[in-house]
Amino acid sequence: MIAIGLEGSANKLGVGIILHPDNGGEPRVLANIRHTYVSPPGEGFLPKDTAKHHRKWVVSLVKAALKEAEIGVSDVDCICYTKGPGMGPPLQSVALAARTLSLLWGKQLVGVNHCVGHIEMGRYITGAQNPIVLYVSGGNTQVIAYSSQRYRIFGETLDIAVGNCLDRFARTLHISNDPAPGYNIEQLAKKGKRLVELPYTVKGMDCSFSGILAAIDALAAAYGLSGDQQAKENIGLTEDALKLKVDSVDKYNNEDGIPTREDLCFSLQETVFSLLVEITERAMAHVGSREVLICRRVGMSERLQEMMGIMTRDRGGTFLRQTSDSALMTGS
């Protein structure tokens, strides 16, 4: 059986083609093509603009995938697409393309859960048996495990996702979105030397990031580190922000008496990654698992991988990861 998968839940559009042997052998990748929508520095990718990008590129990507796979339409058995979760307009664009191809070609249509696709692809690639899954992206932050024939959420964010927290702070500092805001924050964080105290919000198995973001946004505005005047005006210098500024200067007094952009990026990473490791370790203890599988793009962070690796080694466990978006996980 040959399946073609379409993925477009966020800013990455992908088309993958997989051959599933009838004898139950190992699946074979015939094509895997992607195109990413990159927004200007200081801006996130808006759903309507992302959807427009997907509509523009999806047909050419499907043609390129068929050419790379060296197959024709008659060879395709089914069309798989991401049905959610994700950003509404981009998902609708890809779903419309998949339905159109299904009708034109007379092929079976299969909707795939984006989260389950990541987890199953991660298990297949890494060989994980019964992992605690830390699912961390721009739209989701969840601790997941398999129990009673289904994936269950043991802990999650109570407000925004960790990736959204990092992305929004990148916009505050006017950091480039190419190749990704979180990646660029990490490069700055590697040069940071001072840990600025931020709220640490863990509630049982759940966590929160909006207060952390508000606090570090206020610090950036108070120290004049915001990327532009409009960002500073949007944040505003509240009494709490000014007090935080004074406290930080007293506690982390450096040459200028002011933390740098690098220090703030370092502090944000250390804080949010620490609480992610904490709730993941708690889930490991609760379920009795010795494996941790990190899924999605925040898991690409070298620092998060380092911290998670230390925790799992201390528990005699194993740390694994599957981080990239791909249409292959939809078609598999």
Short-list 244, 249, 257, 160, CA closest to 201: 160
- CATH numbers and ranges of domains, the chain: 2-106 (3.30.420.40), 128-324 (3.30.420.40)
User: Per-residue pLDDT for 230 more than 50?
Assistant: no
pLDDT above 70 as % of the chain? 88
Pair of tokens at residue 91: 């998902």
Please tell me which residue, 257 or 304, carries the higher pLDDT value: 304
- pLDDT single digits (tens) 114-159: 999 999 989 988 999 999 999 999 899 999 999 888 999 999 999 9
Tell me the three state secondary structure of residue 285: helix
Pair of tokens at residue 222: 């108070």
Per-residue confidence (pLDDT) for residue 231, from 0 to 100: 45
- pLDDT single digits (tens) 195-211: 999 999 999 999 999 99
Residue 17 main-chain phi, psi, to 5 deg: -125, 125
Per-residue confidence (pLDDT) for residue 232, from 0 to 100: 46
Please tell me which residue, 222 or 41, carries the higher pLDDT value: 222
For residues 221-248, average pLDDT: 57
Question: Residue 238: how many CB atoms within 10 A of its CB?
Answer: 13
User: Which of 21-30, 236-245, 304-313 tops mean pLDDT?
Assistant: 304-313
H/E stretch holding 310: helix 302-314
State pTM to two decimals: 0.82
Burial category of 62 from C-beta neighbours within 10 Å (exposed 0-12, middle 13-18, buried 19 and up):
buried
